[in-house]
Structure 1
Amino acid sequence: MGLIDYLSRPNVPVLTGEGIVLRLPRRSDFSAWRALREESREFLTPWEPVWTGDELTFASFRRRIARYDQEAREGAGYSFFLFDATETSLLGGISVGHVRRGVAQSATLGYWMGARFAGKGHMRRAVEAVKLFAFEVEGLHRIEAACLPSNQRSIRLLERCGFTREGHLRGYLKIAGKWEDHCLYALLAEEWSRSVANAPARRPVSAGAVELNG
């Protein structure tokens, strides 16, 4: 990790799960991030906002990291990069964004996966780790997630992770240049607590067990 990364990093724990590590992105991750996004462009673009002309440049990535760090310092959102257990291969990313406090105590879940790593269970384990972080560390009561009705892979992931479909959002987000309807899913803290209590014994995910990703 570079000196700039070390001095400017917000105090957010590294999350670990079965075979995965989640931590805040660093400037030094640029090459791996750019390569993975570029090779996964065709796989990702149908489900994301239109990529800008400078999407994969270092200048754009640097602005992205600055925004992530500011949101984390303010407690407004947390964007993690998803790595394998040795933290040598970048697999994708996952975020707990739009954090609302007060009477809401809620946030929005977002995620993306590199094409060659999709369908291997990595994102399911990442969601489990993020659920622990959101409910136990951040004390949130509700996590929401929205996905395109045609994105069956994402729907299966959310349902497998205990999210309940709550409704249909019309013209919710502009995806690939078009305003698209989305399915709304949500998970409540008490539902997660019951699922943890009833789950068979297995290696737990943890928040902060590895180090603090300052």
Structure 2
Amino acid sequence: MSVLDQLTRPNVPVLLGDGIVLRLPRRSDYEIWRVLREESRTFLRPWEPLWAADELSRASFRRRITRYNQDARDGSGYSFFIFDAASETLFGGITVGHIRRGVAQSCVLGYWMGERYAGHGYMRHAVDAVKQFAFEVEGLHRIEAACLPSNQRSIRLLERCGFSREGLLRGYLKIAGKWEDHCLYAMLAEEWSRSVDSASKRPTAYADIV
């Protein structure tokens, strides 16, 4: 980790999943992030907003890190990179964003996966780790997630992770340059608690900051 990363990192735990590690992105992650996003460009673009002309530049990445760190300090959102257990191979990213406190106590889940790592179960383990973080550490009551009706891979993921479909959001997000309807999924804290209580043991989903 660079000295700048050490000086600027927020006080956020590392999340542990089944064979994966989730941590806040660092400036020193730029090259592995750029390579994975570039090689996955065609795979990701149908499901994301239009990429900026400098999407993969180092300057753009630094702005992302600054924004991620500020969101984490404010408690308004947490963006994690998903690594293998050795913290060497970057698989993708997952975000607990748009956190609302007060009477809402809710957040929005977002994620992306590099093409070569899709379909191996890594994102399911990442979602499970993030659920525990959101409900136990952040004390939230509701996690929402939205996906395109045509994104069957994402729909299967959310359903396998225990999310329930609640409806259709019309013209919800501008994806690939077009306003698109999205399926709304959600999970409540009590639903997650029941699923954990029925398991053989409570998972370990967070660790000391490294």
**Under TM normalisation by the shorter chain, which class is it?**
over 0.9
Cα displacement (A) at 1:201:
4.5
Q: In the alignment, which residue of structure 2 is the partner of 1:212?
A: 209
Change (3 A) 1:205 1:151: farther
Q: Distance in 1 between the 2:9 and 2:116 partners?
A: 30
Secondary structure of 1:71's match? helix
Partner of 2:10: 10
Partner in structure 2 of residue 59 of structure 1: 59
Contact 1:49 1:177 in 2 (8 A): yes
TM alignment of 1:1-214, pairs within 5 A: 1-201=1-201, 204-207=203-206, 209=207, 211-213=208-210
| Contact 1:18–1:205, Cα closer than 8 Å, also in 2 | no
- 1:3-32 per-residue CA deviation (whole Å, 9 max, x = no partner) reads 111011100000011100000000000000
TM-score (norm 1): 0.97
Give the conservation status (yes or no) of the 8 Å contact 1:128–1:205.
no
Displacement of 1:206 in angstroms is 1.7
Instruction: Name which structure has the greater RCO, CA cutoff 8 Å, separation 6+.
Output: 1
CA positional deviation for 1:170: 0.4
Unaligned runs of at least 5 residues, structure 1: none
TM-score relative to the length of structure 2? 0.98
* Aligned residues of 1:20 and 1:83 also touching (Cα < 8 A): yes
- 1:148-171 CA-to-partner distances (Å, cap 9, x unmatched) read 000000000000000000000000
Query: Which string of whole-angstrom CA distances, capped at 9 and with x for unpartnered residues, describes residues 114-153 of structure 1?
Result: 0000000000000000000000000000000000000000
Question: Using the alignment, how far apart are the partners of 2:133 and 2:201 within structure 1?
Answer: 19
Partners of 1:18 and 1:78 lie apart in 2 by: 20
Q: Which structure dedicates a bigger proportion of its chain to strand?
A: 1
User: SS at 1:83's partner residue?
Assistant: strand
Distance in 2 (alpha carbons) for counterparts of 1:206 and 1:48: 28
Q: 1 CA distance for matches of 2:7 and 2:26?
A: 12
> Residue type matched to 1:140 in 2?
L
